[in-house]
Homo-oligomer: A and B are copies of this chain.
């Protein structure tokens, strides 16, 4: 039997929903919303952590405050076999690379990069990415404006 990720019940989903919106909400406040004892909430949260349903509590920081206003998406073609996950791992190591996805179809990775400006992007492509063997950058899309950017999941009502 799988001890890891069990489908959560309604109360767990409500807890996840509250915590996804505000991870610093107190157990006491969750308990008030759900009308149960704080100790019960505490135990459920611990279990969600143990089961790796909760992966991390994190803080969203304004990128402008840290001078990281440029987003780019880069398509990268890899000439190694499909089974080879090493290219993705190497790409993931590069500072500023936020996402690395292997894409269906054309042996491609899609990489999301966040950095300060186009000069810095160019430097990353020249210094870090070009060091990885057997890849070619096939297309680079620079973001002009971001309308929405979130990782939050849709949590079903029950």
Contacts and interface: CB of A to CB of B under 8 A. Distances in A.
Interface string A60-98: 111111111001010000000000010011011001111
Given A60-B54, A63-B153, A85 B147 contact: yes
B144 A65 contact: no
A66 to B, nearest CB: 5
A72 to B, nearest CB: 9
A115 to B, nearest CB: 8
Interface in A85-119: 85, 88-89, 91-92, 95-105, 108, 110, 114
B5 A91 contact: no
A55 B66 contact: no
